[in-house]
Chain A
């Protein structure tokens, strides 16, 4: 009873944050500038409010169909988050074209590598479910490493974009928790896996959305990067 109450509380808090942030971005005219963030939020909302409830009502909680819908939608969200990290890379290095070309190639190779590692794992351990778990764990971890690389590179190059700093930190939180959780589940052979993964994922999503809220809404004007002339183009996350 208490466990259900806590889980529902965390879940609905995350939903409210998703709606709140998305509404703020659209109503205050940040939709174009932060297109990537908007797209991810729309996907979160669509999956959390339409796709998963629909599958739950029609197939039931214990059904195989719901399981597939749940994990496939999670993989889609992770892929979108990977895309968003690519947008962040572009925003950070838009003034350094040569570096951005190298980064673009690296991002493509990382994705191919993650896919290859997961396929090899599937070959040795044939099961669709294993493949999805393994692929997602690897993708989460690859995104986390890329995100950290981006953060370190931004600091070393002295790129002053306070908003992007916070967006990257939020993204790091979103990836670190579930990646650790998936690895923990693998090591403990799945004991308490579902509830743990749900808690951690929802908490990390809420953490990410709170940090993004602070980045977009809460960062005081004195700290925020001033937009003028060339900077507007440089800041576009698209």
Chain B
């Protein structure tokens, strides 16, 4: 009985651990260049500002605003990932996994808020996922060419 309980608890914990490690390994991927700033500016995404306010200025967590900002950014980025410069009009397996991870962390953030525990690490992880999405989107869009111009160069000529 005791052995089975130990196995149940530790196996469940390790299952979550391996899922998290896999997501972190995907998030650690380095891109040829940092696309996320231009994507965030073009689409008025707020996750860059959220992360900067928490990391650099050590600002207090405004839960309601941060939750709304991250949720809106997530919806915008996932929509763009599916529809912008994506001929398949579908998410990749990697994107599905990270979306699942984002939703789980988002749920965890609500629990942390209700229980009045530290929300900062969870918020930073959420912004890291959004940054990865923005980088992926930027990478994809940069490959689209209008004649001799890339998408960003084309927009500058307008």
Residues of A within 8 A of B (CB): 137, 140-141, 144, 148, 151, 162, 165-166, 169-170, 172-173, 175-177, 179-180, 182-184, 186-187, 204, 207, 210-211, 213-214, 218-220, 222-223
The 3 closest A-B pairs by CB, nearest first: A176-B15, A180-B11, A172-B18
Asked, given contacts A214-B93, A223-B29, whether A183 binds B18 with beta carbons under 8 Å apart, the answer is no
A169 touches B4 (CB 8 A): no
Min CB–CB distance B101 → chain A (angstroms): 13
Contact present for A144 and B25 (CB under 8 Å): no
Cβ contact within 8 Å between B4 and A144? no
Q: Does the CB pair A186–B4 fall under 8 Å?
A: yes
Flag B21-62 by CB within 8 Å of A: 1 or 0 each. Answer: 110011011101000000000000000000000000000000
- Please, which residues of chain B bring their CB within 8 A of the CB of A170? 22
11 more contacts with CB within 8 A, not counting A172-B15, A214-B93, A223-B30, are A137-B7, A151-B21, A169-B25, A172-B17, A173-B15, A180-B11, A183-B7, A187-B1, A204-B15, A211-B22, A220-B29
Task: Using CB atoms, name the residue of chain A closest to B23.
Answer: A169
Q: A166-B22, A211-B22, A223-B30 are in contact. Are A183 and B11 (CB under 8 A)?
A: yes
A141 to chain B: closest residue by CB? B7
Cα(A213)–Cα(B30), bound, Å: 19
Q: CB < 8 Å: which of A141, A219, A222, A223 contacts B11?
A: A141
A183 and B21 in contact, given A144-B11, A214-B93 (Cβ under 8 angstroms): no
Contact pick for A177, options B15, B21, B22, CB 8 Å: B15
Main secondary structure of the interface of B (DSSP, over half): helix
Q: Could you tell me if A222 and B32 are in contact, using CB atoms closer than 8 angstroms?
A: yes
- Complex Cα gap A148–B10 (Å): 11
Q: Is A183's CB under 8 angstroms from B30's CB? A: no
Chain A residues with Cβ under 8 A from B15's Cβ? 172-173, 176-177, 180, 204
Interface assignment of B8: CB less than 8 Å from any CB of chain A: yes
| Residues of chain A with a CB closer than 8 A to B87's CB | none
Q: Is the beta-carbon distance between B5 and A183 smaller than 8 angstroms?
A: yes
Q: Is the CB of B8 within 8 A of A148?
A: no
Query: Contact: B18 with A176, CB < 8 Å?
Result: yes
| Interchain CA distance A186-B94 in the complex, whole Å | 34
Which of chain A's residues have a CB closer than 8 A to the CB of B18? Answer: 169, 172-173, 176
B157 at the interface (CB under 8 A from A): no
Give the complex CA separation of A120 and B113 in angstroms.
48
Question: Are B94 and A179 neighbours in the complex by a CB distance under 8 Å?
Answer: no
Report if B148 contacts A (CB, 8 A): no
Asked whether any CB of chain A lies closer than 8 Å to the CB of B19, the reply is yes
Q: What is the CA–CA distance of A184 and B7 in the complex, to the nearest angstrom?
A: 9
Q: How far is the CA of A186 from the CA of B8 in the complex (A)?
A: 10
Taking a contact as CB atoms closer than 8 A, the residue among A148, A151, A204, A214 that contacts B26 in the complex is A214
User: With A165-B25, A222-B30 in contact, is A180–B4 under 8 Å at CB?
Assistant: no
Q: Find the B residue at minimum CB distance from A220.
A: B29
A210/B12 contact (C-beta < 8 A), A166-B22, A169-B18, A183-B7 known? no
Contact between chains at A173 and B25 (CB < 8 Å): no
Contact of B112 with A by CB under 8 A: no
> Are A179 and B22 CB-contacts (below 8 A) given A187-B1, A187-B5, A213-B93?
no
B76 interface hit (Cβ, 8 Å): no
- B32: chain A residues at CB < 8 Å are 222
A and B contact pairs by CB, cutoff 8 A, 30 listed: A140-B11, A141-B11, A144-B10, A144-B11, A166-B22, A169-B21, A169-B22, A172-B15, A172-B21, A173-B19, A175-B11, A176-B11, A176-B12, A176-B18, A177-B11, A180-B8, A180-B12, A183-B8, A183-B11, A187-B8, A210-B93, A210-B97, A214-B93, A218-B93, A218-B94, A219-B29, A222-B30, A223-B28, A223-B29, A223-B30
